[in-house]
């Protein structure tokens, strides 16, 4: 059995399938208590240390526990909000420097294997080292390059490894030089898994309408549909957003609609990127799931939909004018559809942590090589 330590753990999405590989995450660290409780619910045998790793006492506690457990694999997924195109894209966001604590932990623990994961922008993000500004990969090379073999190709896309989601990630793989092992990405798989395949059998579901005066326009969800799965429940959206998506075909944005385009409360046209108010494609994997997956007006969040019927003017309307349900998010993220979500977790928390988590099937396939 390989024993691991997980830093910046979120709720442990990356760790979902590690048990299949006979890997036990013995120690984990997460800043936010609510997420740490979620993690502990999923992995009750893991020692969860809650707190800020930049606090010397917390860092010392993590290192002491990991040493005691004799961990041989370190997984680190530092926050990406400062670098992500879905975030602030601030190269000087203080969270970008949290990688330093992961590297400190590597030097203190000397694990045989290391996996560091983040957004591709990490590879060009500046960091200060010895009073000089260098990129994060250069920083990692300078600090641990003498002790570890580091992979050459550092960017991959989850959709190339059986995950029904287009999600590019920067993943740095390190192996202690004494092993002689070079750890690179697996070969890309030939089959691209599309939404048409993974959404087959999932019933259409209509969104809840916030405004009472518009609630009778859409069909009611049947008891059979609502009984499909406890997490296949529609979100509530305002009618003006539902309406513009009701007239938007698969793979298109409502910005292209001549009449039913995104509107403000006063009826004025909303301006924005054409990736917003956008339906996904049936013949492609899902688009990158972000923490804003609850918003119709955010990036590529809307269900692909199907032709439904024509209105009185002869304009075609389409089903599923809504964001993905939590059940569909589980599917697109390669999480188990029976994921052991704690009963106390709110929909907002579940959606946020899924949006921040890396598809666990991808992690399983990468780590399977060293096992």
Active site residues: 80
Question: Using CA atoms, how far apart are residues 193 and 161, in angstroms rounded to an integer?
Answer: 9
CB 76 within 8 A of CB 102: yes
| C-beta separation of 11 from 43 below 8 A | no
The Cα 249–Cα 269 span in angstroms is: 19
Q: How far is C-alpha 166 from the geometric centre of its chain's CA atoms?
A: 11
CA distances from 125 to 114, 211, 293 (A): 20, 44, 25
> What SS3 state is found at 49?
strand
CA atoms of 21 and 251, how far apart (whole Å): 37
Q: Encoding tokens for residue 13?
A: 């999405």
How many whole angstroms separate alpha carbon 296 and alpha carbon 303? 10
Paired with 230 in beta bridges are: none
């Amino acid at each position: 059995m390989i024993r691991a330590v997980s830093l910046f753990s979120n709720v442990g999405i990356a760790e979902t399938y590690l048990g299949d590989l006979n890997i036990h995450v013995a120690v984990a660290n997460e800043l936010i208590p609510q997420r740490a409780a979620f993690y502990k619910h999923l992995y009750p045998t893991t020692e969860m240390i809650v707190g800020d790793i930049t606090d010397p006492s917390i860092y010392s506690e993590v290192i002491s526990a990991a040493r005691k457990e004799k961990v041989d694999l370190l997984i680190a997924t530092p926050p990406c909000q400062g670098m992500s195109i879905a975030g602030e894209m601030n190269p000087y966001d203080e969270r970008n420097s949290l990688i330093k604590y992961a590297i400190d932990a590597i030097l203190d623990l000397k694990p045989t294997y290391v996996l560091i994961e983040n957004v591709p922008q990490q590879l060009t993000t500046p960091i200060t080292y010895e009073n000089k500004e260098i990129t994060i990969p250069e920083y990692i090379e300078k600090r641990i390059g003498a002790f570890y073999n580091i992979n050459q190709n550092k960017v991959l896309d989850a959709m190339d490894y059986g995950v029904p989601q287009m999600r590019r990630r920067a993943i740095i793989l390190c192996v202690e030089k004494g092993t002689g092992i070079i750890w690179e990405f697996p070969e890309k798989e030939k089959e691209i898994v599309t939404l048409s395949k993974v959404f087959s059998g999932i019933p259409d579901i209509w969104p809840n309408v916030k405004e009472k005066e518009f609630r009778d326009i859409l069909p009611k969800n049947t008891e059979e549909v609502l009984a499909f799965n406890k997490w296949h429940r529609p979100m509530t959206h305002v009618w003006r957003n539902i309406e513009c998506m009701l007239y938007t075909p698969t793979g298109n944005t409502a910005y292209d609609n001549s009449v039913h385009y995104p509107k403000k409360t006063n009826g004025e046209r909303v301006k924005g990127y054409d990736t917003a108010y956008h339906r996904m494609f049936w013949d492609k994997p899902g688009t990158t799931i972000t923490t804003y997956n609850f918003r119709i007006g955010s990036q590529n969040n809307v269900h692909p939909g199907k032709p439904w019927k024509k209105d009185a003017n002869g304009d075609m309307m389409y089903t599923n004018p809504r964001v993905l349900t939590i059940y569909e998010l589980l599917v697109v993220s390669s999480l188990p559809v029976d994921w052991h979500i704690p009963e106390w977790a709110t929909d907002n928390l579940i959606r946020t942590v899924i949006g921040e988590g890396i598809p666990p099937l991808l992690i399983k396939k990468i780590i399977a090589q060293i096992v």
